[in-house]
Chains A and B, each alone.
Chain A
């Protein structure tokens, strides 16, 4: 069974600084997708970024980028120029290609210090 591990339950960063959230996963599959979702206090789960495992190039979305290390089964999220609105719970998630199920990590709560 696939598992996703987020080893940092909580993190904090000064506004405008850079922070990296870690995620590791365990799978025997070669074709899969990885996601970072953000859940602010408003509760809505918002897609931050996604990565296809077959792509070597790391995904980027504005201030958000990932470091995808397939061999190490690592998928970290870097947030640059942190903003107050980035404060949220961040979930890493895995989905095998062709499978409807998302496997989530336990989440990292990110606090932004003004």
Chain B
């Protein structure tokens, strides 16, 4: 089973709102990722958690705040976003310490900031 789930599927928020995106996997993976994808572009890495610790932050603005409460769950807290933050947000997970370490993606959350 290579399933990564994400909720919600769609989210519309105002610039003053606070919302959260949720990602879950039950594959025993120990690395989880957040990507941002604009239309017709490849995904851009935002954050990586490895063994529940933040290992990579690609200079993402502080209005995006990741959280990894446990090895199966990854959240992305959103606050005071801008319209240009509207995008598809993809979560992925992978094993760590193995040779292949393939990333498996969730279906994404389509975010619209008004």
Contact = CB atoms under 8 A, between A and B. Distances in A.
Interface size band for A: 20 to 34
Contacts of A106: 41-42
Of the listed residues A43, A52, A106, the one surrounded by the most CB atoms of chain B closer than 10 A to its CB is A43
Interface string B59-101: 0000000000000000000000000000010101010000111
Contact of A102 (B2, B100, B103, B110): B103
A104 B42 contact: yes
B100 A50 contact: yes
Nearest to A50: B102
A43 B103 contact: no
Contacts, number: 52
Contacts of A89: 40
B50 to A, nearest CB: 7
B42 A35 contact: no
Given A100-B50, A104-B43, A106-B41, A43 B104 contact: no
Contacts of A33: 100-102
B86 to A, nearest CB: 14
Nearest to B92: A45
A106 B44 CA distance: 11
Interface string A75-114: 0000000000000010100010100111011110000000
Interface of A: 33, 35, 37, 42-47, 50, 52, 89, 91, 95, 97, 100-102, 104-107
25 contacts: A37-B105, A43-B107, A43-B110, A44-B105, A44-B106, A44-B107, A44-B108, A45-B43, A45-B90, A45-B92, A45-B105, A47-B2, A47-B103, A50-B100, A52-B99, A52-B100, A97-B99, A100-B50, A100-B56, A101-B45, A104-B42, A104-B43, A106-B42, A107-B40, A107-B41
